[in-house]
């Protein structure tokens, strides 16, 4: 295992009093990238996450679009992951999530939206994943990547055991992750067993990375991630390889630090 770095991580942590304030802070960092790229006449390439964590971030970005004229016309988006075996129309697909919480409410061009598909045929998944990576590179990489964290330390669906050099691929979901999703799927047996996910290497290549964690349920894994050396058993520890990663927490998520 690589030794934990002695980065003064505190410098990169913002602890906000509420989930709402942490989300608004995050949304503003993303909006600033969109706007500064607009001023340069360039695309802003966003790496986006799903789940509970970014919901208020997207809500704030939608508000900025509606009330402050923030345009998404120069935005290129790449999502981190998608469940394997479900269609984009499935109520719990990440395609659907992104439309519901962000894309349907802003002026992003449909052709600029990229997510892995849960419908990719097994024998073509490798080629599709390689094409996904190539597409990110075509846009000269991700300008700003938003991450949540799973309670087992996964980032995207890089489950424990994921290597540092992993790229976009099909992965078996960890029992912990499937359990966490059981309620919304209406039972563990209905939760997909696999997903397509960007790899650790894909994520670490982003020019800027924000990790947002909210609520008491995340306090334990945040503590473990910060205290542990880099290990594939807690994939989020790999973020320590980048001293510039920005961590945004609410008081509860940061409560055990």
Active site residues: 81, 152, 154, 159
Helix (H, G, I), strand (E, B) or coil at 246: strand
What is the distance between the alpha carbons of residues 139 and 44, in angstroms, rounded to a whole number? Answer: 9
Asked if residue 206 lies in contact with residue 140, where contact means CB atoms within 8 angstroms, the answer is no
Lookup result for tokens 């980048």? 242
Number of residues located near ligand F6R, criterion CB under 6 A: 13
* DSSP assignment letter at 168: S
Shortest distance in whole angstroms from residue 11 CB to ligand F6R: 24
**Phi, psi of 142, deg, nearest 5:** -85, 130
Shortest distance in whole angstroms from residue 108 CB to ligand F6R: 17
* Residue from 22, 64, 70, 80 binding ligand F6R (CB under 6 A): 80
Helix (H, G, I), strand (E, B) or coil at 47: strand
Residue 36 or 193: the one with the smaller Cβ distance to ligand F6R is 193
End-to-end CA distance of the chain: 23
CA dihedral 141, 143, 149, 150 (to 10 degrees): -30
Asked if residue 65 lies in contact with residue 102, where contact means CB atoms within 8 angstroms, the answer is no
- 20-33 b/e with 16+ CB inside 10 Å = b? ebbbbbbbebbbeb
Residue 72 or 97: the one with the smaller Cβ distance to ligand F6R is 97
* Residue from 30, 49, 61, 129 binding ligand F6R (CB under 6 A): 49
Residue 49 or 62: the one with the smaller Cβ distance to ligand F6R is 49
**Stretch in the footprint of ligand F6R (CB under 6 A) among 43-51, 121-129, 201-209, 246-254:** 43-51
Shortest distance in whole angstroms from residue 38 CB to ligand F6R: 26
Shortest distance in whole angstroms from residue 197 CB to ligand F6R: 7
Which residues, 193 to 252, sit near ligand F6R by CB under 6 A?
A: none
Asked if residue 55 lies in contact with residue 101, where contact means CB atoms within 8 angstroms, the answer is yes
Residue 95: other Cβ atoms inside 10 A: 23
Residue 45 or 149: the one with the smaller Cβ distance to ligand F6R is 149
Residue 53 or 77: the one with the smaller Cβ distance to ligand F6R is 53
**Stretch in the footprint of ligand F6R (CB under 6 A) among 9-17, 50-58, 70-78, 226-234:** 50-58
State the alpha helices, DSSP H only, in 69-124.
Answer: 94-101
Residue 31 or 156: the one with the smaller Cβ distance to ligand F6R is 156
**Stretch in the footprint of ligand F6R (CB under 6 A) among 142-150, 162-170, 186-194, 231-239:** 142-150
What is the distance between the alpha carbons of residues 175 and 181, in angstroms, rounded to a whole number? Answer: 10
Which residues, 146 to 175, sit near ligand F6R by CB under 6 A?
A: 148-150, 154-156
Shortest distance in whole angstroms from residue 21 CB to ligand F6R: 17
Going by their DSSP bridges, the two strands 194-197 and 169-172 should be labelled as antiparallel
Which residues of this protein are in contact with ligand F6R, per CB under 6 A?
49-53, 80-81, 148-150, 154-156
């Amino acid at each position: 295992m690589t030794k934990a770095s002695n980065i003064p991580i505190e410098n990169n942590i913002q602890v906000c009093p509420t989930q709402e304030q942490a989300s608004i802070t995050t949304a503003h960092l993303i909006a600033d990238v969109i706007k500064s790229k607009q001023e340069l006449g360039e695309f802003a390439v966003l790496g986006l996450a799903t789940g509970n964590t970014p919901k208020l971030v997207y809500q704030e970005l939608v508000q900025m679009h509606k009330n402050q004229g923030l345009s998404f016309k120069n935005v290129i988006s790449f999502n981190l992951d998608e469940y394997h075996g479900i269609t984009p129309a499935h109520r719990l697909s990440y395609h659907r999530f992104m439309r519901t919480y962000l894309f349907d409410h802003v002026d992003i061009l449909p052709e600029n939206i990229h997510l892995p598909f849960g419908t990719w045929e097994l024998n073509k998944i490798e080629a599709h994943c390689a094409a996904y990576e190539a597409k990110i590179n075509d846009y000269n990489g991700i300008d700003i990547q938003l991450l949540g964290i799973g309670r087992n330390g996964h980032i995207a669906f890089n489950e424990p055991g994921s290597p540092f050099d992993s790229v976009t691929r099909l992965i078996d979901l960890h029992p912990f992750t499937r359990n966490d999703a059981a309620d919304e799927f209406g039972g563990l047996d209905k939760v997909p067993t696999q997903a397509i996910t960007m790899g650790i290497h894909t994520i670490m290549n982003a020019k800027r990375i924000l990790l947002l964690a909210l609520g008491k349920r995340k306090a334990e894994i945040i503590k473990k991630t910060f205290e542990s050396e880099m290990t594939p058993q807690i994939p989020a520890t790999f973020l320590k390889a980048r001293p510039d990663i920005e961590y945004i927490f609410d008081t509860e998520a940061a409560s055990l630090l």
